[in-house]
Chain A
Amino acid sequence: MTVHFKQDKPEQSNRLDGMKQGVLGKGVSRLEGLAKVTGTAPYAAEYPVEGCAEGVLVTSTITRGEVVGLDKDAVLAMPGVLAVIDDSRLTTRPAQGTANEAPKQGPKTISYWGQPIALVVAETFEQARDAAKHLTVKYREEEGAPVDPQAVETEEKDGTVRQGDLAHAMAEAAHSVDVTFTTRGHASAAMEPHAAIAEWDGDKLTVHASLQMLNYNISELADALGVEEDDVRLISRFVGGGFGSKLGISEEVVAAAIAAKDLARPVRVVMSRQQVFQCIMRRSETTQRLRLAADEDGKLTGFGHHAVVSNLPGEVFAEPVLQSSHFLYSGENRELMLEVARIHRMTAGSVRAPGEAVGMPALEGAMDVLAEKVGIDPVELRLKNIPEQDPEEGLPFSSNKLAECLKQGAEAFGWDSGPRKPRQHQDGEWWVGTGMASAARAHSISEARAKVTLKSDGTALVETDMTDIGTGTYTILAQIAGEMLGLEPNKVLVELGDTRHPRGSGSGGSWGAASTGSAVYVACKAIREDLAARVGVEETALELSQGKTSAGKSLIDLLGGEDIAREGHYEPGDIKDDYTAAGFGAFFAQVRVNRYTGETRVDRMLGAFGFGRVLNHKTARSQCLGGITWSIGVALTEALEFDPRDGHLVNCDLAEYHVPVNRDVPELDVLMVEERDAAASPIQAKGIGELGMCGGAAAIANAIYNASGARIFDYPMTPDHVLKAMPD
């Protein structure tokens, strides 16, 4: 029985707060943690499948053109080689998140260096890899493919905002800032490489893959293969990190499925680390011009944010740089515009907090410049400019804790609100300083289904095709069900990552917990209604804990040998249109900058966040720690490097693409500001994971300036940039 709940209004009842089990919000350790650390949690490529052949993708060595010939025979003669597949259904780019249809297909047409063009299958992985490298490919090259975003015309994306007269506001302003920041490309850099094992049983296909959103992936795969969705089963129980790169199906999934059909045996395709870097997703580099006009006191009168990003021709995705700029600060004269440069680098798509991850560091860097011009504390400047309502749409905020985050964060960090001047503190060779920035990330929520069964033995089962990408989904869903049904989380079995289960929301854009969690909540509420009827009370009066009602009657007795199963179907309704919803926060950082070498190290950092109800204190905190760590990466280390001639990604492994390592990450503090966002979801929760990287890089950049006097406009702030900007 399916229970549908479409949310048109805020859910003020805060039912979860009245439940008696008392397990929601607690710092419960991840239920699957033991399996993960003992190596018994199987990842996509690790399923033992008998008779599995191994496939390796062949990738292009030109930037644009056609494949006119493959010397298959030579390779087929090599030991163990079973097939060279160049089926026209092979996909050549990953699907964008929520695409719900096949990405670009047809491996003969090449539009970027490193694009998959064929699959070589052999008995062993080593044989396949060797043969793939030996495959001679004849190309007809189309010279002159543009690869430099600065060197091409740009196209304007829909959604430009022009409100009032920004130019006039800038001219009239008591204080104004007009600065241009750049950010470099980023890679998701998930630990587990993209991998798939495909196996057919007649017309029925089963694929083990590493994917974030099976609810969309199943349609993408079926569409690519030209088969019915009902004939496809996708399994993705554990995902070794996705960070956006596994939102849509990628090339290995389709290739494995085609090969397995052709060869009538299971086929596994695992991408090499270099292939993951070169043919999955990049975050676009950005160039961002910020214009801020303010009155004498620092109140914004004008706000301009103009960003240029890039992607391949034909891709709809454009890094949504301006997402939070639309509503974060006031300023009646506004101009926001996003443009896309069409270039032949690999596909640009969702990578860790698309949009704000790079938009916020630029905006918050500009705000620091403004605070200095106005001569006020940067925290004060932000507090002055928090709008009453969305300054463009006029909508109310569902809930906005920015002010609380700024105040509580400043207090906890020990922020000195006195006059700020750069280069005031020295410790040996190091200049030491502090900086801060706001955090903001638009809240996303989506439709989701989950089936909950309260078993006659007094345990519960939750089933959905939702994935756990390492964030703790298994655990928080068990906590939600446990809270609602009066059970300890270890009495709740959660089954995820299998399209045989009802469609969840998938994991991405930090929407998983709130969306699928709401579906579980809806299902549990329906079960509670059934139970309440059995007890003879209103559902709202039913108190359950430790498997018993408040009158001491056990669930097992109440169930009398029967199971109660309900499918919860949550759908966000008018709340999506009636409110502007976002997570907000504030970052504070202390850094040291070496006066000789320009090396920067973060001494300590604090993030204060308001993201609605905290479902699990421990996993929420871990998400924040991860997000802040990403902030350090954006600020100091991460940059994709593309060859200026053929556009290929050169630093394509984890030794040369620098994510922060342990030693780059100091003691981090996380402060979670109490919040219930009734218009965000029925469980009053919002997204968490990405918020931690939406602005934090600017706190570091602003601290670099405060420490050393180097005002830098190019992220990441590697020693070469710091040295160039550092006054003598």
Chain B
Amino acid sequence: MRPFSYTKARVIEDARQITADESAMAIAGGTNLLDLMKLQVETPHKLADINRIGFDEIKKTADGGLSIGALATNTATAVHPRVRSDYPVLARAILSGATQQLRNKATNGGNLCQRTRCFYFTNIDQPCNKREPGSGCGAIDGIAKLHAVLGASDQCIATYPGDMAVALSALDAQVHIATAGGSERTVPVRDFHCLPGDTPWRDNVLEDGEIITAITLPAPVGGTQIYRKVRERSSYAFALVSIAAIVEMKDGLFSRADLAFGGLAHKPWHDLRIAEALIGQPPTAQTFDKAADILLEIARGYGENDFKIPLARRTLHAVLEHAAEEAA
């Protein structure tokens, strides 16, 4: 860990000012950032502790949706009665992640910004274009079981590891950001994370000095909501593949099918064409296969993670079959 200065921000202006500096970072629960600082993967010179700036409420929005504070904890969010009753896919996604102890500390903002678990990213004595642009990618031709099969580039094949954002993507949530200049902007969660392309160091669209203040959910969407996470042990492991699904049936046909996928790419994967292909169709194996074909159209494995392609297809079958049964 390198020496750094630490300031408790009292109000959001403090935080914006401190983090406008390129070598400064905000710290919330610290469950991701502190680990990375100990490993010297992150080496901020300044830390702005944002735990006391507010933005930790969960409240109704004017249009009947729900605003979830960026500094509300994962636990507080998952157990909130409105989240549980109206957005169960979100509660389930959060509860499938990490452990109780971590979720008690982890915040929603920090969760969105958590960094990849790529083994080469977290080891500073190995090459990694995300950590050290231009040094190469250790995972390509290395150990890449956890890595992306969609949207990767020849610079980086890392995955975004989180669960919560996958549910948020299915819900089409919005991320509210206070900018360095003091204004606010809103980004759909589906556009919040980036693909690695030629800028693998960029995880998301946040600029220096920007602080996430809240995530808003649309008015309750109803439907059957499922979060399915496939992993190597039954808890405390990141997803190999995960699917958030909000499904409705009418007269034996899909009338709604909002799906998002985790574990496959550098961001929660969402493809509008999947819903289009499902709506109006009966829940048959052919329908599921068509959806999987669309999802996996451009899928490509890197050896070790080839299995994710059939696994994603099979998990999609399971989720759609299950959802159709429940929704019927």
Looking at the assembled complex, report how far the CB atom of A360 sits from the nearest CB atom of chain B, in whole angstroms: 22
A-B contact pairs, 20 of them (CB 8 A): A79-B3, A129-B38, A133-B40, A429-B322, A594-B318, A597-B311, A597-B318, A636-B233, A641-B143, A641-B145, A644-B141, A648-B123, A650-B142, A658-B232, A661-B235, A662-B235, A663-B233, A719-B232, A719-B307, A723-B310
Within 8 A of B (CB), among A578-632: 594, 596-599, 601
Q: Is B314 an interface residue (CB 8 A)?
A: yes
Asked whether A661 and B233 contact (CB < 8 A) given A130-B1, A596-B318, A597-B318, the answer is: yes
For A720, the chain B residues whose CB sits under 8 A away are 145, 240, 307, 311
Asked whether A637 and B233 contact (CB < 8 A) given A130-B2, A645-B141, A724-B307, the answer is: yes
The residue from A272, A274, A664 contacting B234, defined by CB atoms under 8 A apart = A664
Task: Please state if B315 and A650 are interface contacts (CB–CB under 8 Å).
Answer: no
The 8 closest A-B pairs by CB, nearest first: A596-B318, A720-B307, A650-B119, A61-B125, A663-B234, A663-B235, A596-B314, A597-B230
Q: Is A1 an interface residue (CB 8 A)?
A: no
How distant is the Cα of A661 from the Cα of B234 in the complex, in angstroms? 8
For B141, the chain A residues whose CB sits under 8 A away are 644-645
Main secondary structure of the interface of A (DSSP, over half): loop
The residue from B1, B119, B126, B236 contacting A661, defined by CB atoms under 8 A apart = B236
The residue from B123, B237, B311 contacting A658, defined by CB atoms under 8 A apart = B237
Looking at the assembled complex, report how far the CB atom of B319 sits from the nearest CB atom of chain A, in whole angstroms: 9
Task: Please state if B40 and A719 are interface contacts (CB–CB under 8 Å).
Answer: no
The residue from B2, B126, B230, B236 contacting A719, defined by CB atoms under 8 A apart = B230
How distant is the Cα of A429 from the Cα of B321 in the complex, in angstroms? 10
How distant is the Cα of A664 from the Cα of B40 in the complex, in angstroms? 33
Within 8 A of B (CB), among A468-488: none
For B315, the chain A residues whose CB sits under 8 A away are 596-597
Looking at the assembled complex, report how far the CB atom of A704 sits from the nearest CB atom of chain B, in whole angstroms: 15
Task: Please state if A719 and B240 are interface contacts (CB–CB under 8 Å).
Answer: yes
**Most chain B beta carbons < 10 A, residue from A643, A645, A658:** A643
Q: Is B117 an interface residue (CB 8 A)?
A: yes
Within 8 A of A (CB), among B273-318: 307, 310-311, 314-315, 317-318
Within 8 A of A (CB), among B1-59: 1-3, 38-40
Q: Is B124 an interface residue (CB 8 A)?
A: yes
A interface residues with partner B (beta carbon < 8 Å): 61, 79, 126, 129-130, 133, 272, 274, 429, 594, 596-599, 601, 636-637, 641-645, 648, 650-651, 655-656, 658, 660-664, 718-720, 723-724
For A79, the chain B residues whose CB sits under 8 A away are 3
How distant is the Cα of A645 from the Cα of B145 in the complex, in angstroms? 16
For A641, the chain B residues whose CB sits under 8 A away are 119, 143, 145
Looking at the assembled complex, report how far the CB atom of A401 sits from the nearest CB atom of chain B, in whole angstroms: 33
Task: Please state if B119 and A599 are interface contacts (CB–CB under 8 Å).
Answer: no
For A651, the chain B residues whose CB sits under 8 A away are 119, 143
Question: Interface 1/0s, chain B 224-249, versus A by CB < 8 A?
Answer: 00000011111111001100000000
The residue from A642, A662, A718 contacting B232, defined by CB atoms under 8 A apart = A718
Task: Please state if B311 and A723 are interface contacts (CB–CB under 8 Å).
Answer: yes
Looking at the assembled complex, report how far the CB atom of B224 sits from the nearest CB atom of chain A, in whole angstroms: 16
Task: Please state if A645 and B310 are interface contacts (CB–CB under 8 Å).
Answer: no
How distant is the Cα of A475 from the Cα of B123 in the complex, in angstroms? 42
Within 8 A of A (CB), among B136-195: 138, 141-143, 145
For B126, the chain A residues whose CB sits under 8 A away are 643, 648
For B125, the chain A residues whose CB sits under 8 A away are 61
Give the number of chain B interface residues (Cβ < 8 Å): 36
CB nearest to A720 among chain B residues = B307
For A655, the chain B residues whose CB sits under 8 A away are 117, 236
The residue from A126, A599, A662, A723 contacting B307, defined by CB atoms under 8 A apart = A723
Looking at the assembled complex, report how far the CB atom of A684 sits from the nearest CB atom of chain B, in whole angstroms: 39
Looking at the assembled complex, report how far the CB atom of A9 sits from the nearest CB atom of chain B, in whole angstroms: 48
For B234, the chain A residues whose CB sits under 8 A away are 599, 601, 661, 663-664
**Most chain A beta carbons < 10 A, residue from B233, B236, B240, B317:** B233
Task: Please state if A723 and B314 are interface contacts (CB–CB under 8 Å).
Answer: yes
For B237, the chain A residues whose CB sits under 8 A away are 658
How distant is the Cα of A645 from the Cα of B127 in the complex, in angstroms? 12
Task: Please state if A719 and B311 are interface contacts (CB–CB under 8 Å).
Answer: yes
New A-B contacts (13) at CB < 8 Å, excluding given A429-B322, A596-B317, A643-B138: A133-B40, A133-B124, A598-B311, A650-B120, A650-B143, A656-B117, A658-B233, A661-B234, A720-B145, A720-B307, A720-B311, A723-B307, A723-B314
How distant is the Cα of A353 from the Cα of B281 in the complex, in angstroms? 55
Task: Please state if A130 and B3 are interface contacts (CB–CB under 8 Å).
Answer: yes
How distant is the Cα of A525 from the Cα of B315 in the complex, in angstroms? 65
How distant is the Cα of A643 from the Cα of B125 in the complex, in angstroms? 13
How distant is the Cα of A663 from the Cα of B95 in the complex, in angstroms? 14
How distant is the Cα of A101 from the Cα of B178 in the complex, in angstroms? 63
The residue from B142, B145, B236, B241 contacting A644, defined by CB atoms under 8 A apart = B142
Looking at the assembled complex, report how far the CB atom of A654 sits from the nearest CB atom of chain B, in whole angstroms: 9
For A663, the chain B residues whose CB sits under 8 A away are 233-235
Looking at the assembled complex, report how far the CB atom of A327 sits from the nearest CB atom of chain B, in whole angstroms: 34
How distant is the Cα of A9 from the Cα of B74 in the complex, in angstroms? 64
For B233, the chain A residues whose CB sits under 8 A away are 636-637, 658, 660-661, 663-664
The residue from B1, B117, B142, B143 contacting A126, defined by CB atoms under 8 A apart = B1
How distant is the Cα of A61 from the Cα of B138 in the complex, in angstroms? 14
Task: Please state if A637 and B124 are interface contacts (CB–CB under 8 Å).
Answer: no
CB nearest to B119 among chain A residues = A650
How distant is the Cα of A660 from the Cα of B311 in the complex, in angstroms? 22
Task: Please state if A643 and B142 are interface contacts (CB–CB under 8 Å).
Answer: yes
Looking at the assembled complex, report how far the CB atom of A594 sits from the nearest CB atom of chain B, in whole angstroms: 8
For B40, the chain A residues whose CB sits under 8 A away are 133
Task: Please state if B318 and A429 are interface contacts (CB–CB under 8 Å).
Answer: yes
CB nearest to B317 among chain A residues = A596
For B317, the chain A residues whose CB sits under 8 A away are 596
CB nearest to B39 among chain A residues = A274
Looking at the assembled complex, report how far the CB atom of A282 sits from the nearest CB atom of chain B, in whole angstroms: 15
**Most chain B beta carbons < 10 A, residue from A641, A644, A650, A660:** A650
Looking at the assembled complex, report how far the CB atom of B318 sits from the nearest CB atom of chain A, in whole angstroms: 4
Task: Please state if A597 and B314 are interface contacts (CB–CB under 8 Å).
Answer: yes
How distant is the Cα of A150 from the Cα of B296 in the complex, in angstroms? 34
How distant is the Cα of A645 from the Cα of B240 in the complex, in angstroms? 24
CB nearest to A632 among chain B residues = B233
How distant is the Cα of A328 from the Cα of B231 in the complex, in angstroms? 36
For A661, the chain B residues whose CB sits under 8 A away are 233-236
